[in-house]
Structure 1
């Protein structure tokens, strides 16, 4: 009989590529991961891995088994959801991942609603960049998360995960007052022209490896230039403070503008760009029906500010 825990390790190896990466993600030692995968091969009765030096890759049988593992793990999530629904009331920990602007502007109101409706549920929030959410969900470090994608950085399909749309928000070019185009509060400015007007200025981006960083770089590249990055900052209030101080220009989302101190009237001009950031609720495949996940999804939908666009708009 194949062991589900070992199937999970095989799936993670297929996603992460190395035994060391699997071990680090799941808090095992590399030797323990290798040992468990060897046991899985004996259970399967045929080779699942090909070892070349320090690296391993899945055999055709291994890749085929990963497909079955995805289906098995999804059914286990559904079974857990069914059992949770049969119990009286929600209780215990619910591990929630969210990126900083959602953590500040959306999540607190959702937690108030959860506490009122399900007082025995214990939500635990961890700020997590969307680029790291898939591994955290599959590894069991998170139960549900808010993730986002940009027009220039679409989210790739993630095996073992499902998402539901939550809201969309506009993007703005933030520049020092008087340093470029007049602010425009309606969509329609030529995005390339707006960005190119600041091509020779220093830029402020998020830290490399984040979706926000990739979004700014790719938007500028689409406009025909590479940004000259001076500062790398993840918190949008700090980004806008640096813009106001004349330290550069930046692309910021609507929530980063609406909920930040010191925007227009404080040395920052905002030009609306014809691009969007879309936020989704993410969870493991089969877990959407889990009462705790569904309760959070309902609460977070009610917490979305009315000025944000509804899904699909």
Structure 2
């Protein structure tokens, strides 16, 4: 017999790279993580870790085990989903994590419909990479995220995506800006502007880089600001421009203008909901996905 909880510890260790990082994700001590791996190795009668100084490396046996571990966990998620259908009532807890704009525009509006179905919604704001860590460790059931380099490939055996919407990006400038007289503008025309965006721990920065690269330039970041209200205020003060997602409203107090971007490709963010592979059939998870799709239109 194999303990799936110990196998999960190995999966998280492989994803995070170090015992310390895995322990942080699992809310365990590093010694507890090491112990779980040792017990799993004893169960299987193989060595799973090799020690190189203070670091550990997965052995070939561990890599072979992981090749089957994702499928085992997907089957377990399917089993849990099937068993959940036999429980009395429709309610249950649903944990959803996501980036701030998606929470405001999609997750929060879906709360009413879920509440009417007896679903207790628990929301956590996280950056995309942290959302996938939360899915893997079981701290979240659905992650609503953007396309960034941290998004796993479409064929990743651990996760299953569900498309929600394409969120167009607009150029935000102050009202007195020379470009503000235009109704539509090509992104390349703003190549010489100073950009307002936080470059660290911010999914929006990767989206900006991709959009500007497609337009043929690299943006010059003048002010490191992340929260959308603060970004809009900075633009309103004439300190730069930014790409503003269509789903993010403009504060009424800020003297700014939203300009539609013309040309192809038109910059956008593809918003998707991810779940652990095999869990989409769970009644509560299925209701959460359905509510998000309904809000997305």
Aligned partner of 1:261 in structure 2 is 251
Q: SS of 1:180's equivalent?
A: helix
Q: CA RMSD in A?
A: 2.2
Match of 2:161 in 1: 163
SS at match of 2:88: coil
Point out the more displaced range, 106-115 or 280-289: 106-115
Query: What is the number of residues matched between the two proteins?
Result: 291
Look up the match of 2:142.
144
Equivalent runs, 1:47-196 vs 2, <5 Å? 47-116=47-116, 118-119=117-118, 121-149=119-147, 155-157=151-153, 158-177=156-175, 178-180=177-179, 182-185=181-184, 190-191=186-187, 193-196=188-191
Distance 1:35 1:234 in 2: 40
Deviation at 1:142, TM superposition (A): 0.5
Shift of 1:159: 4.0
Q: In 2, are the aligned partners of 1:241 and 1:262 still within 8 Å (CA)?
A: no
Q: CA deviation at 1:78?
A: 0.6
Cα contact 2:92–2:284 (8 A) shared by 1: no
What CA deviation, in whole Å up to 9, does each residue of 1:59-102 have, x standing for no partner?
22111101211111111111111111121222332111122112
| Aligned residue among 262, 270, 289 for 2:259 | 270
**Is the CA contact 1:111–1:123 (under 8 Å) kept in the aligned structure 2?**
yes
| 1:26–1:139 Cα contact (<8 Å) kept | yes
Measured after TM superposition, the shift of residue 243 of structure 1 is: 0.7
> What residue number does 1:310 align with?
none
**TM-score, structure 1 normalization:** 0.86
Q: Give SS of 2:62's match.
A: helix
Contact in 1 for aligned 2:6/2:37 (Cα 8 Å): yes
1:237 matched to 2:229? The reply is yes
- Answer yes or no: is the 8 Å Cα contact 2:93–2:284 preserved in 1: no
Please, what TM-score do these two structures have when normalized by structure 2?
Answer: 0.90
Secondary structure class of the residue paired with 1:89: coil
Structure 2 counterparts to residues 209-224 of structure 1, below 5 A: 209-221=201-213, 223=215
Residue in structure 1 matched with residue 293 of structure 2 by the alignment: 301
Pairwise CA distance, 1:11: 0.9
CA contact (8 A) 1:182 1:269 kept: no
Q: What is the CA-CA distance between 1:268 and the residue it aligns to?
A: 2.7
SS in 2 for 1:106: helix
1:235 CA displacement: 2.4
8 Å CA contact 2:90–2:284 kept in 1: the answer is: yes
Query: Partners in 1 of 2:256 and 2:142 — Cα distance?
Result: 38
Contact kept in structure 1, 2:207 and 2:269, CA below 8 Å: no
